[in-house]
Amino acid sequence: MKKKLLALVMTAVMAVSLAACGGSTAGSSAPAQEKSEETEEAAAAEEPAAETQQETAEETAEEAAPLRLYVLAGPTGIGAMNLWAASDAGTTEQAYEITMTAANDEVVAAISNGEADVAAIATNLAATLYNKTQGGVRVLAVNTLGVLSILSRGEAPASIADLAGRTIYAPGQGANPEYILRYVLSGNGLDPDADVDIQFVGEGSELLSVWESDPEALIMAPQPVATTLLMQNEGAVQAFDMTEQWNAVSGGESTLMMGCVVVRTAYLEEHPKAVEVFLKEYADSVNKAQTDVETTAQLCESYGLIPKAALAQKAIPSCGLTYISGEEMKQQLAGYLQVMFDANPKSVGGALPQEDFYY
Which pLDDT belongs to residue 63?
Answer: 53
Based on the domain organization, do 102 and 189 belong to the same domain?
Answer: no
Pairing state of beta strands 167-171 and 257-264?
unpaired
Query: Do the beta carbons of residue 75 and residue 144 sit within 8 Å?
Result: yes
Angle at 56 between CA 52 and CA 58, to 5 degrees: 115
Task: State the Cα–Cα distance between residues 104 and 108, nearest whole angstrom.
Answer: 6
My answer on whether 227 and 169 are in the same domain is yes
Maximum Cα–Cα distance across the chain: 143
Instruction: State whether 66 and 212 are in the same domain.
Output: no
Q: Last residue of a domain, which of 250, 265, 296? A: 250
Average pLDDT, the chain: 85
Task: Identify whether 115 is part of a domain.
Answer: yes
Say how far apart CA 261 and CA 156 lie, in whole Å.
35
How confident is the model over 318-332, as a mean pLDDT?
95
Residue 19 lies in a domain: no
pLDDT digits (tens, 9 = 90+) for 85-133: 999 999 999 999 999 998 888 998 999 999 999 999 999 999 999 999 9
Q: What percent of the chain has pLDDT over 90?
A: 74
C-alpha 295/C-alpha 281 separation (Å) is: 17
Among candidate residues 223, 250, 277, the one where a domain is terminated: 250
Q: Binning pLDDT at 50, 70 and 90, where does residue 284 land? A: very high
- The number of distinct structural domains making up the chain is 2
Q: Last residue of a domain, which of 200, 217, 250? A: 250
Specify if 42 maps to a domain: no
Closest CA to 163 of 197, 120, 139: 197
Is 23's pLDDT higher than 70? Answer: no
Residues 142 and 260 in one domain: yes
Same-domain check for residues 262 and 192: no
Can you name the residues that pair with 99 across neighbouring β-strands?
A: 70
**pLDDT higher at 60 or 348:** 348
Q: Tell me: do 197 and 323 sit in the same domain.
A: no
Domain of 195, CATH number, reads 3.40.190.10
Per-residue pLDDT tens over the stretch 35-51: 445 445 544 445 554 45
Q: Which domain holds residue 325?
A: 62-146+256-357
The counts of H helices and E strands in the chain are 15, 11
Tens digits of residue pLDDT in 143-197? 999 999 999 998 899 999 999 999 999 998 988 899 999 999 999 999 999 999 9
**Are residue 122 and residue 265 in the same domain, yes or no?**
yes
Check whether residue 289 and residue 340 sit in a common domain.
yes
In a domain, 310, yes or no: yes
The span from the CA of 135 to the CA of 353, in Å, is 8
Asked whether residue 131 falls in the same domain as residue 266, the answer is yes
Per-residue confidence (pLDDT) for residue 253, from 0 to 100: 84
Q: What is the pLDDT of residue 64?
A: 60
- pLDDT reported for residue 7: 35
Q: Is the pLDDT of residue 26 over 50?
A: no
On whether both 317 and 173 belong to a single domain, the answer is: no
* Co-location of 130 and 272 in the same domain: yes
For residue 224, whether the previous peptide bond is cis, meaning omega lies within 30 degrees of 0, is yes
Q: How far apart are CA 278 and CA 234, in angstroms?
A: 43
**pLDDT at position 73:** 87
pLDDT over 80 (residue 199): yes
Examine the domain organization and report whether 137 and 184 are in the same domain: no
Residue 351 has pLDDT above 50, yes or no: yes
**Residue 12 included in any domain:** no
**Would you say residue 187 lies in a domain?**
yes
Is it the case that residue 67 has pLDDT exceeding 80?
A: yes
Tens-place pLDDT, residues 291-300: 999 999 999 9
Domain for residue 180, yes or no? Answer: yes
- Across 2-66, the runs of DSSP E, i.e. the strands, are none
Closest CA to 224 of 211, 205, 243: 205
- Residue 28, pLDDT > 70, answer no
Query: What pLDDT sits at residue 246?
Result: 95
* Position 284 in a domain: yes
